[in-house]
Amino acid sequence: MSPAAAARQAAVPVAVGAVLGAVLGAVGGFVWWTWWGPAPSGKIYDTTRGPKWYPDPFDPGITRDFSGTATYVVVGFAIALLLGLVAGWVCRHTALVGLGAVVVASLVGAAVMVVVGVMQSPANPQDEASATTIGKVLPGHLEVAGFTPYLAWPVGALLGYLVVMLSITAESRRPEQPSAAPALQD
């Protein structure tokens, strides 16, 4: 097989994985927003650092803010696990190409999930705080706090892929019984 043909053969699973990751990411973004929504409300307060938006009431609003990140992790991990299981089954005979496809698909899926989920959310009220009046009520914004929640997709996908690669591709035949005859020596 020529190097160009081998490169084309390796590129197909990666491209299919990226498309599958984008589709699953869009589904994940919709599920994320649906599970989290509707957005909590809050007010613009006058602080020493200028106008700031805070959820009103504060404690349930902050809890709700955390739940956006937690929901992203749960939904993203579950969908990525499914992605890894499917990719492992499809690429069970081409493990390294499949591994690359899973990594690309999980990164694409994570990005698309954030974009789709945040697009459905109201605008960030902190961005509008300085342009509106103090005391105005604005809806909250769906977001992921920090970097580590974004790892839910790659970790889930790679875990699913690993489970399939270790369970399905391993040979499961019985070992040969040792012979009672002495070994031949040269």
pLDDT digits (tens, 9 = 90+) for 105-114: 999 999 999 9
DSSP, residue by residue, 78-135: HHHHHHHHHHHHHTTT-HHHHHHHHHHHHHHHHHHHHHHHHHHSPPPHHHHGGGS-TT
pLDDT for 84-97, tens place per residue? 999 988 888 888 88
* Rounded distance between C-alpha atoms, residue 111 and residue 106, angstroms: 9
Q: Whose structure tokens read 């929640």?
A: 149
User: 31, 75 in Cβ contact below 8 A?
Assistant: yes
**pLDDT tens, residue order, the chain (186 aa):** 677 777 777 787 888 888 999 999 999 999 998 888 777 777 878 888 888 877 776 665 556 567 788 899 999 999 999 999 999 888 888 888 889 999 999 999 999 999 999 898 877 777 777 777 777 777 777 888 889 999 999 999 999 999 999 888 556 566 676 766 676 776
The pLDDT value given to residue 18: 87
The pLDDT value given to residue 63: 61
Three-class DSSP category at 163: helix
